[in-house]
């Protein structure tokens, strides 16, 4: 079965993320984010409000990407990454990153999707979203180095 939505290449992900972070480094990795122990989950829905894609990030990505947008000092980001407790302000910034990443999943021939919600805990995800994460049609994981902060991982999954 072919996915309805797209998954970006490294260079496409760099194109979008560099608008936010400047000289960002992105490389595809086989070291995917474990869907049950990720830090934040962005859920994309189609026009019928059905989950069709997700963005999953580890605690390092959440802390570094979230801190960089507000220029929170690196030490604060490192503390959040180490503890796994991502402050609300960083979470809100990651939501915006996930929202912008929606354009990586769409093309001229795909249906529209939108970021509907972000969840901080796997257990809070609706059942159909958990199913999407556990049995995606396609997925792609990236290691992202946010300049002056550090490396984290994000994964995109599509139905």
Number of domains making up the chain: 1
Q: Is residue 29 one of the residues assigned to a domain?
A: no
pLDDT tier for residue 32 given thresholds of 50, 70 and 90: confident
Residue predicted with more confidence, 1 or 126 = 126
For the stretch 73-117, pLDDT in tens is 999 999 999 999 999 999 999 999 999 999 999 999 999 999 999
Model pTM score: 0.95
For residue 139, give the H/E element and its range: strand 138-146
Q: Is the pLDDT of residue 1 over 70?
A: no
The per-residue b/e assignment along 77-107, b for 16 or more CB within 10 angstroms, e otherwise, is bbebbeeeebbeebbebbbebbeebbebbbe
Residue 118 bridge partners (DSSP): 42
Q: Is residue 139 one of the residues assigned to a domain?
A: yes
For the stretch 126-136, pLDDT in tens is 999 999 999 99
For the stretch 137-157, pLDDT in tens is 999 999 999 999 999 999 999
pLDDT tier for residue 37 given thresholds of 50, 70 and 90: confident
Mean pLDDT of the chain: 95
User: Strand locations in 40-131, DSSP E?
Assistant: 40-45, 51-57, 114-119
Q: Is residue 96 one of the residues assigned to a domain?
A: yes
For the stretch 2-22, pLDDT in tens is 778 999 999 999 999 999 999
Q: Is residue 51 one of the residues assigned to a domain?
A: yes
State percent of the chain over pLDDT 70: 99
Taking the C-alpha atoms of residue 93 and residue 76, their distance in angstroms, rounded to an integer, is 15
Residue 117: give the domain boundaries: 10-24+38-158
Q: Is residue 3 one of the residues assigned to a domain?
A: no
Q: Is residue 61 one of the residues assigned to a domain?
A: yes
- Residue 19 sits in a domain whose CATH number is 3.40.1550
Q: Is residue 138 one of the residues assigned to a domain?
A: yes
Q: Is residue 65 one of the residues assigned to a domain?
A: yes
DSSP code, position 155: E
């Amino acid at each position: 079965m072919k996915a309805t939505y797209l998954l970006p290449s490294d260079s496409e992900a760099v194109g979008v993320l560099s608008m936010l972070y400047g000289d960002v480094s992105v490389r595809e990795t086989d070291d995917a984010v474990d869907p049950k122990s990720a830090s934040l989950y962005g859920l994309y829905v189609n026009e019928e409000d059905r989950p069709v894609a997700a963005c999953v990030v580890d605690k390092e990505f959440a802390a570094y990407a979230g801190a960089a947008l507000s220029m929170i000092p690196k030490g604060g980001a490192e503390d959040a990454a180490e503890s796994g407790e991502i402050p609300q302000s960083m979470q809100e910034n990651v939501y915006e990153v996930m929202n912008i990443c929606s354009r990586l999943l769409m093309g001229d021939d795909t249906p529209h999707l939108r970021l509907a919600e972000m969840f901080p805990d796997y257990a809070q995800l609706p059942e159909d979203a958990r199913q999407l994460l556990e049995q995606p049609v396609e997925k792609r994981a990236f290691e992202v180095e946010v300049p002056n902060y550090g490396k984290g991982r994000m994964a995109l999954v599509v139905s």
